Amino acid sequence: MFNLEATLFCGQTFVWQKDESSYRGVINHRLVTLDVNEPFSKIVSDPFLRHYFDLEYPYEEAETHLAALDPALGALLNSHRSIHILNQDPWETTLSFITSQNNTIRRIRNLLNALRATYGKEVAPNHHALPTANELLSGSTEDRLRALGFGYRAEYLLGAARNVELLARVEDQEDEEALRALQQIHGIGPKVASCILLFAYGRKDIFPLDTWTRRILSEYYPEEDPSFFSPYGGIAQQHLFYAERRKIGLHW
């Protein structure tokens, strides 16, 4: 199958939590619980989860291509097994990555949890969905979001909610056009736009650049740019980012 732990906690989503017995997250207004010891039987048998975990994509082909580019990257792919790019809801992904700007993963999770609890619908006892754009606009103000701890991001979240219809048009746009379109939303720059395209629209060649990934490229691929990994830049980026976060020795 694939590396569920790495897929859920490699930085592409902030909705999942793990305890001794289960992985648990609210996805598209649905609470999903996966048994830690046997998660894949439920994933394989549920069409919604099969799509969410991107089971139909040929990851083996992508990883073989990337391994051929660089033996060290190949060893990294082998050690991680397979990291899948999740098919996430565009609006929820937009909320999440606007919140992620200049933030730690712990704080991102805390802010999104506060947003769920304050404005989202309860989909199961003590589990809330992220608010829809309409729920956010009807229930919140910039001052209220700032009081929850969002700071300057409060303005960006409300601006994105007012322009949520733009997300529906991105599906049919080429990558460069889609990146420009997403950046029409105030507060969305190239990095956040890239994350939305990769994690919500499945654009596997998008390689989001931030402080982490620029440092990785500078250290391990100083003569290359993200096009080196094409057409699987997004997949390569997730493995490299996950390795750097976990401080795995990459042996370049």
Predicted confidence (pLDDT) per residue in 224-238, tens digit:
999 999 999 999 999
Q: How far from each other are the two terminal CA atoms of the chain, in whole angstroms? A: 27
- Going from the C-alpha of 18 to that of each of 15, 97, 238, the distances in angstroms are 10, 21, 20
The predicted model scores a pTM of: 0.94
**What is the maximum span of the chain, computed from C-alpha positions, in angstroms?**
53
pLDDT at 125: 95
Looking at residue 34, its pLDDT comes to 98
- Give me the DSSP letters along 97-110: HHHTTT--HHHHHH
Reported confidence tier of residue 252, pLDDT bands at 50, 70, 90? very low
pLDDT tens for each residue of 172-195 = 999 999 999 999 999 999 999 999
Q: Is 245 helix (H, G, I), strand (E, B) or coil?
A: helix
Distance, in Å, from the CA atom of 213 to the CA atom of 195, rounded to the nearest integer, reads: 12
pLDDT of residue 223: 95
Can you read off the two tokens belonging to residue 102?
Answer: 């200049």
Residue-wise pLDDT tens digits, 28-80? 999 999 999 999 999 999 999 999 999 999 999 999 999 999 999 999 999 98
Q: pLDDT category, 105, cuts 50, 70, 90?
A: confident
Arithmetic mean of pLDDT over the chain:
94
What is the per-residue pLDDT for 171? 92
Neighbouring-strand partners of residue 22: 35
The separation between CA 5 and the C-alpha centre of its own chain, rounded to angstroms, equals 14
Contact present, 116 and 129 (Cβ < 8 Å): yes
Q: What's the confidence (pLDDT) of residue 152?
A: 96
Q: Name the token pair of 140.
A: 């919140």
Residues facing 18 on adjacent strands = 23
The domains found in the chain, sorted by start residue, are 4-86+207-246 (3.30.310), 90-185 (1.10.340.30)
Query: Has residue 249 got a pLDDT over 80?
Result: no
| pLDDT reading at 250 higher than 90 | no
Distances (CA, A) of 237 to 117, 172, 198, 229: 32, 24, 10, 9
For the cut 50, the answer to whether the pLDDT of residue 251 exceeds it is: no
